Structure 1
Amino acid sequence: MSQVHSLWKTATGLPVVGGVVGKRAFSIAFAQKAPYFATIHPRFTVIEPNHVELVIPKRRSVQNHIGTVHAIALCNGFEAAMGALAEVTIPSDKRWIPKGMEVSYTAKASSDITCIAETTQEQWDNADGDLAVKVKGVRDDGTVVGEGEIRLWVTPKNK
């Protein structure tokens, strides 16, 4: 089990209100991994191999001039979700680095946004170079506001 997954399990296992305090503590700690993650105030809700979800709260600091969640804030959410997914899913003998992102914005992000990153275990087991992580952002009413993929470069760790 990766350090990120172990920390998530420990934090969410805390007895205070079903792990809510632990999820908040984990989210704050994870956001320090890359300082721009902290700009969106992510709230991780699901972390498991091949599936991660986090919420970007709709607040002034992530809004654009029309009062919706800014496209780059969505991308930061997608990358944070993908990073957590990669850390808890990748086999221990491999390493990863992002190499590109393609995202389409499909609707106004007018509420809190749930960012979802997904892969299959087969993708990781057979990864030799490129691996595509599917990402999407969903409004409170279920409308998809953005979707795409983040391409990773997955290679064996040096021995």
Structure 2
Amino acid sequence: MEYNNTLNRNLAKVQKMPAFLQNWLRDYSIGKFVKFVGTAGIHFEKMTCHEVVITLPNKTKVQNHIGQIHAAATTLLAETATGMVVGMNIPDNKLPLMKNLSVKFIKRSQGQQKAVATLTEQQISQIRETDKGDVSVAVKITDETEEEVIVAEMNWAWVLKK
């Protein structure tokens, strides 16, 4: 059974909609809440408490001067995937915050990019059970050739809401 917080409850509502609407509705509602994600056109393929998989098509609005996905858009993809997997686990009385990010570009990307962010059972317990803390969230960013294009370290913190 998945952890129950606002994000999970909203995603459960989407799952009750007709199948042909679910992907669009999930992308639209998250993009409406996190506007930059919506502007970039990130697609949410899988969202669970253990793993989030998202993609970013290589469209003009996110391209750099050589027609590839811009470095800032690639970084957004990594930040969004890791933030969402934390968001799938964080209780409603806590606020997630990006604490630190590090991105090293290792290969020129080709076409669409994909991010896969994961949490361990231990990290999930830590997020759910401690009032304040931080975790380094694993994320892998690949392109259409399925090769990794960046090495990223995303460190997310959380605090109790005031």
- Per the TM superposition, whether the score is higher than 0.5 is yes
Residue 92 of structure 1: how far off its partner (Å): 5.3
- Structure 1 equivalent of residue 9 of structure 2: 6
1:45 aligns with 2:26: no
7, 15, 18: which one aligns with 2:18: 15
**1:87/1:140 CA distance change after superposition, 3 Å:** same
- The 8 Å contact of residues 142 and 148 in structure 2, kept in 1 or not, is answered as yes
Deviations 1:68-97 (CA, angstroms, capped at 9, x unpaired): 111100111122222221111224564421
Give the TM-score normalised by the residue count of structure 1: 0.85
Structure 1 position 132 matched with structure 2 position 136: yes
Shift of 1:143: 0.6
Q: Please, what TM-score do these two structures have when normalized by structure 2? A: 0.84
Q: Residue in 2 aligned with 1:62?
A: 62
**Whole-Å separation in 2 of the counterparts to 1:9 and 1:130:** 27
2: CA distance, partners of 1:6 / 1:130 = 24
For structure 1, the residue ranges without an aligned partner over 5 or more in a row are none
Q: Residue 155 of structure 1 aligns with which residue?
A: 159
Which residue of structure 1 aligns with residue 80 of structure 2? 80
Distance 1:23 1:12 in 2: 9
Counterpart for residue 101 of structure 1:
101
Count of aligned pairs: 155
Q: Distance in 1 between matches of 2:157 and 2:73?
A: 23
Partner Cα distance (1:108, 1:9) in 2: 37
Superposition misfits of 4+ residues, deviation over 4 angstroms: 91-94
Percent of residue pairs identical: 21
Kept in 2, the 8 Å contact 1:116–1:137? The answer is: yes
CA distance in 1, matches of 2:83, 2:33: 10
CA RMSD of aligned residues (A): 2.0
**5+ unaligned residues in a row in structure 2: which ranges?**
none
- Sort the Cα spacing of 1:135 and 1:31 in 2 relative to 1 into closer, same or farther, 3 A: same
- How far residue 41 of structure 1 moved from its aligned partner, in angstroms, is 0.2
Q: How far 1:7 moved relative to its partner?
A: 2.1
Deviations 1:90-111 (A, max 9, x none): 2456442111111111212211
Q: Secondary structure at the match of 1:126?
A: helix
Give the AA of the match of 1:3: T
